[in-house]
Amino acid sequence: LMPGDLQRFGGGTTTLHSRYSSLSQTDAVQFEVVVLSRISAPWGQDLATRLQMALARKEHGNALIAHSAWDAARIKYESAFRLVEFQRTEDAMDEVVDEISLDAMRVSPEKLKEITAIKVSLNLNLASAFDKMGPAFAKEAESRCNLALEEHPAHPKALYRRALLREKKGDHEAARTD
């Protein structure tokens, strides 16, 4: 960082680890970056490969959650979600939105069920990560529960998690409905 630069650390807020608390906005900071692993680009990969990559990223996110690394887990979950996300319309055959949607046209109903289950799970994991990141992320957490419920309207865990979030913000009637 050069003097006057702001460095964004997760969730859109500027924070520094406590060991850097003595730094001011005019201090220059030098970081060393070590690449721990390389992940191949998913675009152009077939659906099976993207699903496998998504599940691996989800598991990595789960490991990060276990170590209370909420924002790092969020990044992994969002990365996994992008691998399985399809831009859908009312009738997917009417409009092809992107390259991934072409794959959606060629998959079996069983594979679409698997994809939906992964998307629901990732949305719920994202909701949990956002919830753990604090009240500033409550809207995003509830939004992820809503996305999970769009895919699976009666999903018990999504309803339960959304009810807890609504209860936290004081919307008791909506929480009871869930």
The span from the CA of 118 to the CA of 123, in Å, is: 9
pLDDT > 90: what percent of the chain?
44
The pLDDT assigned to 4 comes to 43
Which of the two residues, 32 and 169, has the higher pLDDT score? Answer: 169
Question: What is the band of 37 on the pLDDT scale with cuts at 50, 70, 90?
Answer: low
How confident is the prediction for the chain on average, in pLDDT? Answer: 76
How far out from the chain centre does Cα 42 lie? 17
The pLDDT assigned to 38 comes to 55
pLDDT exceeds 70 at position 130: yes
pLDDT exceeds 70 at position 164: yes
pLDDT exceeds 60 at position 29: yes
Q: Which residues pair with 13 in a beta bridge?
A: 9
Question: What is the band of 41 on the pLDDT scale with cuts at 50, 70, 90?
Answer: low
Task: Copy the structure tokens of residue 82.
Answer: 């992008």
Question: Are 115 and 51 within 8 A, CB to CB?
Answer: yes
Closest CA to 119 of 35, 58, 39, 43: 58
Q: Is the pTM of this model over 0.75?
A: no
Question: What is the band of 140 on the pLDDT scale with cuts at 50, 70, 90?
Answer: very high
| Long-range Cβ contacts of 104-111 (<8 Å, 24+ apart) | 106/47, 107/47, 111/47
The span from the CA of 9 to the CA of 4, in Å, is: 16
Task: Copy the structure tokens of residue 101.
Answer: 């949607």
**Least confident segment among 14-18, 62-66, 130-134, 139-143:** 14-18
pLDDT exceeds 80 at position 122: yes
Contacts of 85 (CB under 8 A, 6+ apart): 100, 119
The span from the CA of 164 to the CA of 146, in Å, is: 13
Which of the two residues, 9 and 150, has the higher pLDDT score? Answer: 150
